[in-house]
Amino acid sequence: MADRDFAGKTAIVTGAASGIGAAIAAELAARGATVIASDMDADGLDQLVADITAAGGTAHARVADVSEPAAMEALVTFAGDKGGALHMAVNNAGIGGPQVPIGEYPLDGWRQVMGVNLDGVFYGMRYQIPAMLAAGGGSIVNISSILGEVGRRAAAPYTATKHAINGMTKVAALEYSSKGIRINCVSPGFIATPILTKNLPQEEIDKLAALHPIGRIGTSEEVSALVCFLLSDRASFITGSVHMVDGGYIAQ
């Protein structure tokens, strides 16, 4: 039986319909949290909620565009209505964008990646933090990437947003740690999410695996384990930091 250390707490997870977000939502629910699962994929959210409910957990779906501030404000209000208060949040929603060099990058593509990846995290914290202050404290994990530490060709906006998320997380932690809110980043390497495994041939996945000293790509559950640790009281002295779950990628 899973540890029920999140019983009585409410958590928002964005980008929860599949992959890393779905794994985080499922683990939070298994550990007793009321999960507010958000995504643009309504069908995926419905399946997630059904799976969590069948396993004995509690989850509620909310379709929301993280790049719209009103949608993020409404998501926090929804969490309060369903769970009574907001105690935890995982700002996970993100997109990759076109794979194009900077000198050719489509302007609308730049704005879309910025809107989802960076604005979405800012809008999330902008409304999550006041709700957590009202609840007496809480914990936030923002999902960054190994590309928050290094560069990658043809991924300028994605890389820029992940570097920015790391910095914004540190600022938020400095501002709110003394007020009972811990804020950290988790930076995955290449993870075996449906987006990756369904869109790349095995030979390309093998090439990505070879980039990691551990010799493989990671799983969503390995990311979830770190995220849920940081959200928990076991991480009570950890804030303002960026944590790799990357099979040694950044250590090279």
Task: Name the residues annotated as catalytic.
Answer: 158
Q: Please, which residues have CB within 8 angstroms of residue 107's CB and are 6 or more apart in sequence?
A: none
Helices within the chain (DSSP H only): 19-30, 42-54, 69-83, 107-113, 120-135, 156-176, 194-199, 202-210, 220-231
How far is it, in rounded angstroms, from Cα 40 to Cα 143?
17
Q: Tell how strand 10-14 and strand 138-143 pair up.
A: unpaired
- How far is CA 189 from each of CA 45, 97, 161, rounded to the nearest angstrom? 24, 17, 16
